[in-house]
């Protein structure tokens, strides 16, 4: 496979990242074992508070990568610069109903499985299902379009590498997974709450196509080396469901946004069938801010502040579109 770039050092990084994503290996660009913080009150999404996105890297010495990282998430998923290459591989799901708890972490609502809830398999590597949570509005965008909600489903391999599946939602019919949790969400307090058996198979994907790239956690400590898989299809969620999620967090959730950090000219890959995937390239730009990308994460007009994180360009990151293999997926129809 030939990858073209104006930056020689980027060629090495891209080759290494392709090797990671397309081979049966237990290694990643870096070990992303440092998980998201469980108490999100030390930081906020509002500038002017001293805890906003521009200050995240200064709040805690362990969070410096929030400012200095080169593979930060979220990103805008651009598809207009595409080249066809071959053989990325499948992503398989094998989920089981299991005991779970619900917790309001401050900026999101988190479902954590306390027993074995199954796994995903990325190119032969098992990633155990740990938890899921929601962000509203969505953090990732598709060609600049932001949606009303985004679900992150968090998995971890035996060596501590994190793999996240992201699903975006627009207003429409209620989401069946949220529908089963809504009564628990509406009554959640400050303490972690036992909610019994939760079936992750109720999380509907709606499409076998997905984007994949190497990025970071979207909240402190902003750890890099995270394998992101973003489902291409935008699903639906009711306004009532989104409002329920917003009502329980401690800050103005409609303004609960992070701007894109360290967006880059990273070559992004897209897998569109079992035999082909496409490479997405951004125009070559290094250490430059692009205002139109920076404004992609502006909050709604009724919000007072404007949480914008500095956009810095790094020429070396990879995104992909792939196909889910549901052959081993339990409690769901293939491709749903």
Question: Is the previous residue joined to 287 through a cis bond, with omega within 30 degrees of 0?
Answer: no
Question: Is the previous residue joined to 137 through a cis bond, with omega within 30 degrees of 0?
Answer: yes
CB atoms < 10 A from the CB of 334, how many? 10
Q: Which residues of 56-73 are buried (b: 16+ CB within 10 A; e: fewer)?
A: bbebeeebebbbebbbbb
Sign for the CA dihedral angle at 184, 187, 188, 194 comes to: negative
Alpha carbon separation from 141 to 112, 168, 335 (Å, rounded): 26, 9, 22
**Which of these is catalytic: 26, 107, 152, 302?**
107
* Residues 6 or more apart in contact with residue 61 via CB below 8 angstroms: none
Q: 3-class DSSP state for residue 127?
A: strand
Tokens of 211: 């984007």
Question: Is the previous residue joined to 45 through a cis bond, with omega within 30 degrees of 0?
Answer: no
Residues comprising the chain, all counted: 336
Sign for the CA dihedral angle at 4, 211, 298, 190 comes to: negative
Q: 3-class DSSP state for residue 16?
A: helix
Inter-axis angle of helices 239-248 and 176-186, to 10 degrees?
40
Element at 128 (helix H, strand E): strand 125-135
Q: What phi and psi, each to the nearest 5 degrees, are found at residue 129?
A: -70, 130
Listing DSSP states for 15-55 in one string gives: HHHHHHHHSS-S--SS---SPPPS--TT--S-TTSSSSGGG
Cα–Cα dist 252/259, whole Å: 16
107 labelled catalytic: yes
Residues annotated as catalytic (active site), given as ranges: 107
């Amino acid at each position: 496979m030939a990858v073209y770039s104006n930056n020689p050092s980027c060629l090495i990084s891209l080759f290494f990242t392709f090797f990671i994503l397309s081979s049966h290996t237990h290694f990643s660009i870096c070990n992303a074992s440092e998980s998201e913080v469980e108490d999100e009150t030390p930081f906020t999404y509002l500038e002017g508070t001293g805890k906003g996105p521009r200050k995240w890297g200064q709040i805690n010495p362990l969070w410096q990568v929030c400012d200095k990282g080169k593979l930060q998430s979220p990103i805008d998923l651009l598809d207009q610069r595409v080249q066809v290459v071959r053989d990325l591989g499948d992503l398989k799901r094998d989920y089981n109903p299991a005991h779970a708890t619900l917790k309001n972490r401050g900026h999101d609502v988190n479902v954590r499985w306390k027993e074995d809830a199954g796994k995903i398999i990325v190119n032969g590597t098992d990633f155990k299902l740990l938890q899921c949570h929601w962000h509203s509005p969505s953090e990732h965008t598709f060609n600049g379009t932001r949606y009303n909600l985004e679900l992150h489903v968090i998995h971890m391999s035996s060596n501590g590498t994190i793999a996240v599946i992201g699903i975006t939602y627009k207003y429409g019919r209620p989401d069946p997974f949220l529908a089963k949790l809504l009564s628990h969400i509406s009554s959640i307090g400050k303490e972690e709450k036992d909610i019994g058996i939760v079936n992750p198979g109720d999380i509907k994907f709606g499409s076998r196509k997905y984007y994949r790239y190497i990025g970071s956690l979207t909240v402190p400590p902003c750890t890099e080396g995270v394998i992101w898989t973003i489902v291409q299809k935008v699903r639906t969620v009711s306004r009532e469901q989104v409002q329920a999620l917003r009502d329980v967090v401690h800050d103005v959730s409609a303004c609960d946004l992070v701007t894109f950090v360290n967006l880059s000219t990273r070559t992004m890959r897209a897998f569109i069938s079992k035999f082909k995937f496409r490479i997405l390239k951004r125009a070559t730009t290094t250490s430059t801010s692009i205002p139109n990308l920076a404004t992609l994460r502006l909050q709604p007009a009724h919000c007072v502040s404007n949480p914008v994180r500095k956009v810095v360009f790094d020429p070396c990151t990879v995104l992909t579109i792939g196909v889910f293999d549901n052959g081993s997926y339990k409690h769901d129809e293939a491709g749903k």
